[in-house]
Amino acid sequence: MKKICLFIICLFMFIPLVSAVTTTQSSSVKTTTTTNKGPTEGEECVEESCRITNENEECTDEKNCETTSKEKEASDDGLLSDGKSAILIEASTGKVIYEKNSHDRYAPASMTKIMSMILIMEEIDKGNLKWNEKLTTSEYASSMGGSQIFLQPNEKMTVKDLFKAVAIGSANDATVVFAERIAGTEDKFVEKMNAKAKELGLKDTNFKNAVGLDEANHYSSAYDMSVMARELVKHEKIFEFTTIYEDYLRQNTDNKFWLVNTNKLIKTYEGADGLKTGYTKEAGYCLTATANKNRMRLIATIMGASDSKSRNSNMATLLDYGFNSYEMQVEVKKGEVVSKKNISKAKNEIVEIVPSKDASVLVERGNKKEALNYEMKLNKLKLPIKKGESVGILNLKDGNKIISTVDLTVKEDVERASILELYKRSIKSILSGSM
């Protein structure tokens, strides 16, 4: 009897021990190791480690890393499934079609170069930079890490090729070459970037470098990035670069360099023709994209997506939503004559004034507005005048509210009349008695 009792006592002590061991083994089986994932092929790498912060890594930016319940709800709004913030706008009017946390401040990564490209294009438009001008690489510019074309100290490259490197390959070294040429130093160029941000009315942007490397107090927002993109696309020349999927630099040399566009949407999404991707450890995967279909240009920004595939998929969804839900109601077509001016000293005295692009209003599909009115403000016309040169503005109005503004230009180049032509006109006027 004593042996039986002892056996029962031992049995009850052994069962919990077995259960504890089994639980431990089960837990260990379920535990997996998370490996940091780097950028996919063709993506930018602007951190030496090229790693994404995983759940176990310490986050030093409380604002960017803390996810509130409100943000969790916003991330599953039926339209956007990934990204900390996003926005979708129509380019000509700036009308916001969709937004999520659009004014929250985050690291913009290489989308920073949108502002850099604005300043570069402005210098080109002013004639301070020529496309065939050769710029010299400094020691500092050649030392840039991350995305680069491996410029060597004192290497010379044309403005055109350097701009290709920035617009297609997001090259940090090429961007700094421009910064130094325009402002003397990168720091001085950054001052110009921030001044331009202020001019554009951006309240959630501050730049600390020209390329988008993670740095304290270097931030922007989805809304501000869309405003910058809207400013950049006014320089239509940029589409000659942002639509290139692949190209080569240093042709016919031993250092031939293959450029592949980091923005895969230009190959996979109908109408996509720009603009700028970005990735750093702090920023995650970012993209400001633009597409043009059915006389409508949309601009969208996604910040802080988890990977490039998800970012691109969400961007396509965002653009689809815009194109499927809205359309442009064109009131005055590009090139339509809206005014005629008599300029006595012009080769052709009658000068036709036209909008440089469509004057349109954004409407929901199937919800046309009644015909809108417009007003024109012409500058004092000075000869000669080139087609495309702004000679005034046309304001499209809904009642007293200005909906959009487009530049006015001349339908054809306007040249100054020769002395002989002016003499003939004077004689003709005298004979007709009009003088």
Those residues whose C-beta lies under 8 Å from the C-beta of residue 85, and which sit 6 or more positions away, are 100, 101, 102, 104, 106, 221, 222, 301, 302, 303, 304
The whole-number average pLDDT for the span 350-357 is 95
113 is catalytic: yes
What pairs with residue 99 in β-bridges?
A: 87
110 is catalytic: yes
* 415-426 pLDDT per residue, tens: 998 888 877 777
What single DSSP character describes residue 109?
G
| Range scoring the smallest mean pLDDT among 10-24, 71-85, 284-298, 391-405 | 10-24
What pairs with residue 157 in β-bridges?
A: 135
What single DSSP character describes residue 90?
E
Structure tokens at 8: 């029962």
Structure tokens at 339: 């005014």
> What's the predicted TM-score (pTM) here?
0.79
170 is catalytic: yes
The whole-number average pLDDT for the span 306-318 is 97
* 216-232 pLDDT per residue, tens: 999 999 999 999 999 99
What pairs with residue 278 in β-bridges?
A: 286
> DSSP E strands: which ranges in 124-271?
134-136, 156-158, 246-249, 257-260
What single DSSP character describes residue 127?
T
Taking the C-alpha atoms of residue 236 and residue 89, their distance in angstroms, rounded to an integer, is 18
Options 170, 226, 356, 404, the catalytic residue: 170
Options 85, 102, 110, 356, the catalytic residue: 110
pLDDT value of position 330: 92
Distances (CA, A) of 258 to 30, 181, 248, 276, 307: 44, 25, 5, 18, 24
pLDDT value of position 56: 27
Options 84, 100, 113, 357, the catalytic residue: 113
